[in-house]
Amino acid sequence: MTYDIVIIGGGAAGIATASSILKRNAKVTIAVVDPATDHYYQPGWTMVGAGVFTLEQTRKAEADVMPKGVRWIRLPAITIDPDRHAIQLGDGSSIDYHVLIVAPGLRLAWEKIEGLPEALGRNGVTSNYRYDLAPYTYRLVKELQQGRALFSQPPMPIKCAGAPQKAMYLSCDIWRGCGLLPAIDVEFHNAGAALFGIPIYVPALMEYVEKYGIDLRLESNLVAVDADRRVATFERKQDGVSERIERPFDMLHVVPPQVSHAVVANSPLAAANGFVEVDETTLRHKRFENVFGLGDAAGTSNAKTAAAARVQAPVVAVNALAALDGSPPVADYNGYGSCPLTVERGKIVLAEFGYGGKLLPSFPSWLLDGTRPTRAAWFLKERMLPPIYWQGMLKGREWMAAPHKIGKAA
């Protein structure tokens, strides 16, 4: 079979792009390749971990989000041959394309932390990065009366770089509300050198670090977990010398290292870091003119978030349609991404920024100042963003995300 457009991945980015294309031209033949039976609203998992959302609010059947008019191929893509314009699928068959859109997200590399895969889900080891474990986070938080709670953040790149600390602040807020916080030792081990990559948001976050009495340990990377002994091992590099420290814990919230899927990393489409080597603005592949990449799979320097995919999808849609006509890209992407940092139940520091750390707030500061914790941003996250995701983004309604024409004033 040859399709006009093949999309690898029916997640946030892939479905939004398919809908945006069909909205403009219902006649193109599109195949979405994805073996998943379920589609997840992953930004909701932070809220599940704090008992704000139910697990079911974050999941729909993949069949229910698949746009009418696309052919859904329920198999994984195994290899990509961009010279032959062909994809090999999980059952050994292959399909051809005129234009390819690569959006399989990224892979959570739990196995890179020694002992972690077998530790998850027992003896206090949890992660909001797994659908089935987010409720366990909330259970652990409710049950912990005293002791030590560790939260970890791996080296970049990761999706939603704020999510490791979001889990921590919401847990601390629950313990504070029950009067238990003084009895709980909270440590944040961040492999990075800063609390958050965009400096303007750091002061507001530091106020919460201090308010909750969090022991902030930068450049401290989780390398091993022993669930039976309830001990986590962190590696710290100082002056080129690395030392390992062991920290006993009662609760450990882990965020795993994150890598490109093999289908991309092992293909000619990969950049040196394994992600899809696309131009940062047009999202077109740097070497293959009929290939585009977006979402977490893209080797771009924006924050890997659903918010980024929401803005990227219409850009890729119009550029892919142009490529189908043999024309150059017509729209560009400014690197917009957003990270709603849930600093307490009811308040969020809403980080919104693009390439080079340029602030790109969606609202005027008198309405919503993203550098400060606000109730308005919490309302947005709790009440507005889920319907914007399910009813807007996935259905090609490009609310506040119309594709920007190349050369037009911003």
Ligand X SMILES: Cc1cc2nc3c(=O)[nH]c(=O)nc-3n(C[C@H](O)[C@H](O)[C@H](O)COP(=O)(O)OP(=O)(O)OC[C@H]3O[C@@H](n4cnc5c(N)ncnc54)[C@H](O)[C@@H]3O)c2cc1C
Q: Which is nearer to ligand X, 309 or 323 (CB)?
A: 309
Q: Which is nearer to ligand X, 10 or 329 (CB)?
A: 10
Asked whether position 45 contacts ligand X by CB under 6 A, the answer is: yes
Q: Which is nearer to ligand X, 95 or 321 (CB)?
A: 95
3, 6, 7, 14: residue in contact with ligand X (rule CB under 6 A): 14
Q: Can you tell me the distance from the alpha carbon of 106 to that of 231, in angstroms, rounded to the nearest whole number?
A: 28
Q: Which is nearer to ligand X, 160 or 225 (CB)?
A: 160
State which amino acid sits at residue 114.
E
Active site residue 339: yes
Angle between helices 163-177 and 202-211 (to 10 degrees): 40
Q: Quick one: which segment of 103-111, 137-145, 197-205, 208-216 binds ligand X (CB under 6 A)?
A: 103-111
186, 309, 311, 388: residue in contact with ligand X (rule CB under 6 A): 309
Counts of helices then strands in the chain (DSSP H, E): 11, 23
Q: Can you tell me the distance from the alpha carbon of 286 to that of 309, in angstroms, rounded to the nearest whole number?
A: 19
Asked whether position 168 contacts ligand X by CB under 6 A, the answer is: no
Asked whether position 103 contacts ligand X by CB under 6 A, the answer is: yes
- What is the DSSP pairing of strand 220-226 with strand 231-238? antiparallel
Q: Quick one: which segment of 101-109, 205-213, 217-225, 284-292 binds ligand X (CB under 6 A)?
A: 101-109
Do residues 216 and 190 make contact, with C-beta atoms less than 8 angstroms apart?
A: yes
| Eight-class DSSP state of 391 | I
Q: How far is the CB of 161 from ligand X (least distance, A)?
A: 9
Six token digits for residue 94: 């292959």
Q: Quick one: which segment of 183-191, 200-208, 224-232, 298-306 binds ligand X (CB under 6 A)?
A: 298-306
Q: Which of 178, 118, 188 is nearest to 143 (CA)?
A: 178
Catalytic residue of the set 8, 184, 339, 349: 339
19, 20, 46, 137: residue in contact with ligand X (rule CB under 6 A): 46
Q: Can you tell me the distance from the alpha carbon of 196 to that of 165, in angstroms, rounded to the nearest whole number?
A: 9
Asked whether position 163 contacts ligand X by CB under 6 A, the answer is: yes
Asked whether position 12 contacts ligand X by CB under 6 A, the answer is: yes
Site for ligand X in 251-290 (CB under 6 A): 261, 263
Q: How far is the CB of 296 from ligand X (least distance, A)?
A: 4
Q: Which is nearer to ligand X, 128 or 221 (CB)?
A: 128
Q: Can you tell me the distance from the alpha carbon of 323 to that of 320, in angstroms, rounded to the nearest whole number?
A: 5
- Secondary structure (3-state) at 126: strand
Q: Can you tell me the distance from the alpha carbon of 410 to that of 219, in angstroms, rounded to the nearest whole number?
A: 37
Asked whether position 43 contacts ligand X by CB under 6 A, the answer is: yes
Q: How far is the CB of 371 from ligand X (least distance, A)?
A: 17
Q: Which is nearer to ligand X, 230 or 309 (CB)?
A: 309
Q: Quick one: which segment of 32-40, 110-118, 192-200, 226-234 binds ligand X (CB under 6 A)?
A: 32-40
Query: How many residues sit in the footprint of ligand X (CB under 6 A)?
Result: 36
Asked whether position 128 contacts ligand X by CB under 6 A, the answer is: yes
- Secondary structure (3-state) at 72: strand
Do residues 197 and 160 make contact, with C-beta atoms less than 8 angstroms apart?
A: no
Catalytic residue of the set 30, 141, 160, 380: 160
Q: Quick one: which segment of 22-30, 43-51, 183-191, 353-361 binds ligand X (CB under 6 A)?
A: 43-51
Six token digits for residue 134: 């987010």
Do residues 28 and 51 make contact, with C-beta atoms less than 8 angstroms apart?
A: no
Asked whether position 183 contacts ligand X by CB under 6 A, the answer is: no
User: Which residue of the chain is nearest ligand X when measured via CB?
Assistant: 11
Asked whether position 158 contacts ligand X by CB under 6 A, the answer is: no
- Secondary structure (3-state) at 228: coil
Tell me the DSSP string of 165-211: HHHHHHHHHHHHHTT-GGGEEEEEEESSSSSSSSGGGHHHHHHHHHH
Q: Quick one: which segment of 41-49, 220-228, 236-244, 324-332 binds ligand X (CB under 6 A)?
A: 41-49
Q: Which of 157, 201, 126 is nearest to 296 (CA)?
A: 157
Please, is 111 exposed, middle or buried when counting C-beta atoms within 10 Å of its C-beta (0-12, 13-18, 19+)?
exposed
Omega before 155 within 30 of 0, i.e. cis: no
* Residues that are catalytic: 160, 339
- List contacts with ligand X (CB under 6 A): 8-14, 33-34, 36, 42-43, 45-46, 76-77, 103-105, 128-129, 159-160, 163, 261, 263, 295-297, 304-307, 309, 338, 340
